[in-house]
DNA sequence: GTCTATATAAGGATAGAC
DNA sequence: GTCTATCCTTATATAGAC
């Protein structure tokens, strides 16, 4: 009994994720969240203390796993004696793709992640940088090895562009719609393929 | 007297632009806007009718000029008998760059524009598509001519990726910081150069 | 851990004087 | 066109019973 996957806490996190994706952090109220989660309004403050802390927990719940997956995939890619640029890009992108496709609410979460960039919120930036900054560092080092013709500044410019393109594409902000008859999985996998090819070309240039 | 550039209406639009960029549409209240604009709270409803209509006017004030500039630049680029891919990309990007650099509040506006993508707001999407969709169509046609090896679906995928990278980079969502001693103009121009080179490589691939 | 009830602040919008 | 004052709704957060 009391399956932890459907605990009050998890239901709140799931509802918050969905509403933050659709309406933003300021746009989604705790009343809307608790109502969607079918829990009492007071439960948010009991379990999380405040709306800001709830927001952080929405990130932590997914990012711990996502970034562990990215690091593991990077390690596998670099186990190859001559890794390809595409492999490192895939190590970054594919775990996000799996999150989108395999986890309940995963697609909502990547949109929440994209919102975080737009927020420019210092508290949120610090939280993300403190907790997950090392992952970006490891990827940057791997790209640097594969692209020795780029100096550090040039490399960072391009990685910043790649990060933007990936974030935007994963969050499905674009105008391309899924064709009828095409599954969500097919659609997303195509998007990831295009993204990897495009980014690899831009990085190699 | 009564310089229209500093009218109550324009002051509200300027303050709204700044606050929407920094806090989002839901995150910035009309009280904050009118306080920053040094006008009375009731002035928003008098001049615009509602917060939603104010948001639309914030877009219209800039986008009319921005998109006219983009179309004019596209026309100039296509006047060349053998236009380069980079020229068409520049026709799209440079007017946004000028807006950022030369117009008071321009930098805030491009961030507002990026927020609009994240919103997925149907009302806002329809407003933007109705009023400025034809500009994107003209650019898509120009790219199609320059990239005959790409079928329509392939082309649209890539343009979607480019749009994301441009939006994200222009809104300054990335982690790269301006170096001390580097002017805002230098910094932004470098960003645009990198963006154009990167996007051209990804499109040609 | 979950509820009701409520404190307290802030939100958008408007009425009506000037 | 601009002001004050106010209506009404919604917000976050908490106190205290169960």
Q: Tokens 């100039």 — which residue?
A: B76
Q: What pLDDT does residue A123 have?
A: 86
Establish, for the pair of chains A and B, how many residue pairs have beta carbons separated by less than 8 Å: 122
Q: What pLDDT does residue B122 have?
A: 87
Q: What pLDDT does residue B3 have?
A: 85
pTM passes above 0.75: yes
In the predicted model, is pLDDT for residue A71 greater than 90? Answer: yes
Q: Give CA A191 to chain center in angstroms.
A: 15
Span CA (A47) to C1' (D18), Å? 19
Q: Centre a 10 Å sphere on the Cβ of residue A117 and count the other Cβ atoms it contains.
A: 23
Q: What pLDDT does residue B95 have?
A: 98
| Residues of chain B that touch chain A, judged by Cβ-Cβ distance less than 8 Å | 22-27, 111, 114-115, 117-120, 154, 156-158, 160-161, 163-165, 167-169, 171, 173-176, 190-191, 194-195, 197-199, 201-205
Mean pLDDT by 10 residues, chain B (205 residues): 86 98 98 98 98 98 98 98 98 97 97 93 91 96 98 94 93 88 95 97 96
Instruction: Judge contact between B86 and B200, C-beta under 8 A.
Output: yes
Q: How many residues does chain A have?
A: 205
Region at A13 (left for phi over 0; alpha for psi -120 to 50; beta for the rest) = alpha
Cβ within 8 Å, pair B191-A115 = no
Instruction: Give the Cα separation of B100 and B117 in Å (integer).
Output: 18
Instruction: Give the Cα separation of A59 and A127 in Å (integer).
Output: 9
Q: What pLDDT does residue A4 have?
A: 81
Instruction: Judge contact between A131 and A61, C-beta under 8 A.
Output: no
Mean pLDDT of the A53-81 span: 98
Q: pLDDT, tens digit, for every residue of B136-191?
A: 999 999 999 999 999 999 999 999 999 999 999 999 888 888 899 999 999 999 99
Q: What pLDDT does residue B172 have?
A: 87
Instruction: Judge contact between A141 and B152, C-beta under 8 A.
Output: no
Q: What pLDDT does residue B1 have?
A: 53
Q: What pLDDT does residue A20 have?
A: 98
Cβ within 8 Å, pair A161-B190 = no
Span CA (A43) to C1' (C5), Å? 15
Cβ within 8 Å, pair B26-A23 = yes
Q: pLDDT, tens digit, for every residue of A160-175?
A: 999 999 999 999 888 8
- Per-residue pLDDT band for A148 (boundaries 50, 70, 90) equals very high
Mean pLDDT of the A9-29 span: 98
Among the CATH numbers 1.10.357.10, 2.30.30.100, 3.40.50.410, 1.10.220.70, which is that of A57-204?
A: 1.10.357.10
In the predicted model, is pLDDT for residue A91 greater than 80? Answer: yes
CA distances from A107 to A18, A22, A152 (A): 9, 11, 33
Mean pLDDT of the A69-84 span: 98
Angle of CA points B173, B27, B4, to nearest 5°: 85
């Amino acid at each position: 009994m009391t399956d932890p996957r459907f605990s009050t806490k998890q239901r709140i996190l799931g509802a918050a994720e969905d509403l933050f994706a659709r309406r933003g952090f300021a746009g989604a109220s705790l009343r809307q969240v608790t109502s969607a989660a079918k829990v009492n309004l007071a439960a948010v403050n009991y379990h999380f203390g405040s709306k800001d802390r709830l927001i952080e927990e929405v990130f932590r719940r997914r990012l711990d796993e996502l970034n562990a997956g990215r690091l593991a995939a990077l390690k596998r890619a670099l186990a190859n004696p001559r890794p390809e640029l595409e492999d490192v890009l895939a190590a970054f992108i594919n775990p996000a793709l799996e999150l989108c496709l395999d986890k309940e609410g995963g697609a909502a979460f990547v949109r929440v992640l994209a919102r975080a960039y737009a927020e420019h919120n210092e508290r949120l930036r610090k939280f993300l940088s403190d907790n997950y900054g090392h992952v970006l560092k490891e990827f940057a080092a791997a790209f640097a090895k594969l692209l020795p013709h780029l100096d550090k500044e040039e490399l960072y410019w391009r990685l910043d562009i790649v990060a933007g393109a990936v974030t935007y594409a994963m969050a499905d902000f674009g105008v391309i719609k899924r064709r009828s008859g095409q599954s969500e999985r097919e659609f997303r996998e195509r998007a990831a393929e295009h993204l990897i090819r495009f980014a690899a070309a831009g990085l190699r240039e």
